[in-house]
Amino acid sequence: MSVIYGRVALIGLGLIAGSMAHAARRAGAAGEIVGTARSPETRAIAEEIGLCDRIVETAAEAVKDADLVVLAVPVGVMGRVAAEIAPHLAEGATVTDVGSVKKHVIDAVAPHMPHGVHFIPGHPLAGTEHSGPRSGFAELFDNRWCLLVPDEATDAGALDRLSRFWRALGSNVETMEADHHDLVLAVTSHTPHLIAYTMVGVADDLRRVTDSEVIKFSAAGFRDFTRIAASDPTMWRDVFLTNKEATLEILGRFTEELFALQRAIRTGDGQLLHDYFTRTRAIRRGIIEAGQDTDAPDFGRVKRG
Amino acid sequence: MSVIYGRVALIGLGLIAGSMAHAARRAGAAGEIVGTARSPETRAIAEEIGLCDRIVETAAEAVKDADLVVLAVPVGVMGRVAAEIAPHLAEGATVTDVGSVKKHVIDAVAPHMPHGVHFIPGHPLAGTEHSGPRSGFAELFDNRWCLLVPDEATDAGALDRLSRFWRALGSNVETMEADHHDLVLAVTSHTPHLIAYTMVGVADDLRRVTDSEVIKFSAAGFRDFTRIAASDPTMWRDVFLTNKEATLEILGRFTEELFALQRAIRTGDGQLLHDYFTRTRAIRRGIIEAGQDTDAPDFGRVKRG
């Protein structure tokens, strides 16, 4: 238990900030945790469940004397929040964020940051399909990756301190360049989410296949898509609007590939399909070996006899 | 514990047949279980782990005096196996299958079935990403659905007996018409699998995003796709080749919808994206309420604090 930041301000109290509060307490990494959210209802719930040491009404108030400020709001409002807190930031404070897109956040936030404040963008690769102040839990970041996006001007001491904080919360930490981050995430997260949303939307639209049948017989694969497609709509809208270029590029590759497989189905090219499906198995093995998932069948939802 | 079939013959000893053997034993639903597989290696493993009471070398031998014959081979070879066993089937025996496609299996198998044998196609909606004789376990069918596809000529007593057998194995049972089955499954299973295979293939192809990055940072959504895309290549090749029409139809709807969302991203139509993502959340709630998945975050892979 060693305090890394005397006062941590969490702006926005959803799944990520809530989990950060739980994990920081577990580690004793923060002297005091101050939280705020735009919605009075969210603040009331956070107050009720004791999520932070102190809940305040505005972001400006929250960042007062904070050593670390975490912007945990949808990517689309990061700029507005940065403008709001800028005049109230303490000299030497570190400001970070947890947005799923980095280039846009840097463009929106960096111009507002006063001299003497360390702005180090970040992105913890962790989440669930749940959202809101009650959804957080201390283990969310355990053995997951947190990507930090410093630039040449970033203070080495401030970067090291933020890295230690994320490690105390359970994460592995790595640094990455903003454009590369946005491309990697377009592949591993943004495009898969859009596809899952689409597939679930298609099922919902089909009138001949009634809702109850889709739901009843979902265990055959569709079910895993619905978990992904149950994620927070505002957060994901902003991700797609702000990582437009990389997402559209990967989507283009995806449809190209999908059309090739579709054509193989139409022409009855079993060899192509079999080869393709064999190749994708290897990636799964890599993920299990990297400790990023369980090999238990069906994610361990069922037990072996 | 009440024996429903005196002798059950399992043709093919993969995940499904293996799990049926375990589940039938758990329930005491079969007097004797005889198994066979084309590959000598599979038969040797089944023998070694005691998967069945008896392992024989040929399907013709396996079905001798069997009260229930289960065709648990890839959909593409069902017809060949049916032709092989036909002369050896006992009068009054029931033949069923576990294929993911029903129209094609009926067309391939039914013509071979001798008079006095009850052919009742079936499809247990259960599975994992693992395959082979070691992958089965007794709980696979618990609380899952098994769809049986009788026609007007099906003997009511034989249908009732097969239904009781599947219930003894842990399943819920429902009957469905073949074409409708193939459409429902194209939505809930076949198209989602093709899409997952495609997305994983795209990630594999991208040279700028190295393999290790895709694997390391997979937890952000992609990981769930890789589980689906690790399923048995032969089984899935056959599914797409034999449920061509329905899969292509649903794929067509999928790409139409995907293009609409892609266009919304390109034009910055946040309202459309937000509305779409909000609608898909409701389906997830339905699946949780129907008891077909866990509401634990991330499938219960992580624990709440």
Q: Are residues A297 and B219, on separate chains, in Cβ contact within 8 Å?
A: no
B305 domain residue, yes or no: no
Total CB pairs under 8 A between chain A and B: 359
- Tracing tokens 């283009």 back to the chain, one arrives at A252
- What is the distance of C-alpha B44 from the center of its chain? 24
Provide mean pLDDT across the span B269-276: 96
**CA–CA separation, B240 vs B233, rounded Å?**
11
**Average pLDDT value for residue range B172-185:** 95
Best mutation target, B104, B137, B217, B293, to test chain A (most A CBs within 10 A): B217
Dist. CA A114–CA A251, nearest whole Å: 38
- Cα of B28 to nearest chain A Cα, Å: 15
Please give the backbone phi and psi of residue A54, each rounded to the nearest 5 degrees, phi first: -145, 135
Of the partner residues A183, A194, A227, the one whose CB lies closest to the CB of residue B284? A227
Q: Total structural domains in chain B?
A: 2
The answer to whether position B298 is within a domain reads no
- Where residue B305 falls among pLDDT bands split at 50, 70, 90? very low
A159 and A251 share one domain = no
Residues B241 and B133 in one domain: no
Indicate whether this complex's ipTM tops 0.85.
Answer: yes
Query: Same domain, yes or no, for A163 and A200?
Result: no
> Looking at this protein, which amino acid is placed at residue B4?
I
Write out pLDDT tens, residues B93-127: 999 999 999 999 999 999 999 999 999 999 999 88
Q: pLDDT tens for residues A148-158?
A: 999 999 999 99
Put simply, the answer to whether A197 touches B268 (Cβ < 8 Å) is no
Average pLDDT over residues A11-28: 97
The CATH number covering residue B260 comes to 1.10.3660.10
CA-to-CA distance for B60 and B39, rounded, in angstroms?
A: 15
At A166 the pLDDT is 98
Residue A304, pLDDT > 70, answer: no
pTM confidence score: 0.87
Per-residue confidence (pLDDT) for residue A124, from 0 to 100: 96
CB contact (8 A) between residue A284 and residue B129? yes
Q: Tell me the CA end-to-end span of chain B in Å, nearest whole number.
A: 41
Residue B10 lies in a domain: yes
Boundary-marking domain end, from B152, B176, B200: B176
Same domain, residue pair B159 and B216: no
> Are A75 and A195 within one domain?
no
A286 lies in some domain:
no
Mean pLDDT of all residues in B50-58: 98
Q: Are residues B156 and B249 in the same domain?
A: no
Query: Residues B284, B137: one domain?
Result: no
Last residue of a domain, one of B159, B176, B193: B176
Nearest CA to A247 out of A178, A186, A181 is that of A186
Which residues make beta-bridge pairs with B54? B34
Q: Any idea what the Cα angle at residue A225 is, between residues A298 and A252, rounded to 5°?
A: 125
Contacts of B197 in chain A (CB under 8 A): 261, 276-277, 280
In a domain, A299, yes or no: no
Are residues A224 and A154 located together in one domain of the fold?
no
Please tell me the distance in Å from B83's CA to the nearest CA on chain A: 23
Q: Kindly state whether residues A10 and A32 are assigned to the same domain.
A: yes
- What is the reported pLDDT for A214? 81
pLDDT at A264 over 90: yes
CA pair distance A285, B207, nearest whole angstrom: 19
Domain range holding A83? Answer: 5-176
What is the model's pLDDT at position A221?
78
pLDDT higher than 80, residue B11 = yes
Residue A207 placed within a domain = yes
**Shortest Cα distance from A116 to chain B (angstroms)?**
32
Decide if A297 and B129 are in contact by the 8 Å CB cutoff.
Answer: yes
Q: How far is B5 from chain A (nearest CA, A)?
A: 22
Which of B137, B161, B176 lies at the terminal end of a domain, its last residue? B176
Asked if residue A10 is part of any domain, the answer here is yes
The per-residue pLDDT for range B114-162, each reduced to its tens digit, is 999 999 999 999 888 888 999 999 999 999 999 999 999 999 999 999 9
Q: Is residue A159 part of a domain?
A: yes
Which tens digit of pLDDT belongs to each residue from A112-143? 999 999 999 999 998 888 889 999 999 999 99
Query: For residue A167, what are its two tokens?
Result: 């490690």
Asked if A217 and B304 come within 8 Å (Cβ–Cβ), the reply is no
Confidence bin at A305 (pLDDT 50/70/90): very low
Query: Does residue A111 sit in the same domain as residue A226?
Result: no
Residues of B in contact with A212 (CB under 8 A): 286
A273 within 8 A of B236, measured Cβ to Cβ: yes
pLDDT of residue B220: 66
Q: Are B162 and B194 in the same domain?
A: no
Report the CATH number that the domain containing residue B24 is assigned in CATH: 3.40.50.720
- Which of the residues A222, A243, A275, A304 would you substitute to probe the B interface, choosing the one with the greatest number of B C-beta atoms within 10 Å? A222
Q: Which residues of B touch A143 (CB under 8 A)?
A: none
Residue A96 sits in the same domain as residue A154: yes
Residues A24, A168: contact at Cβ < 8 Å?
A: yes
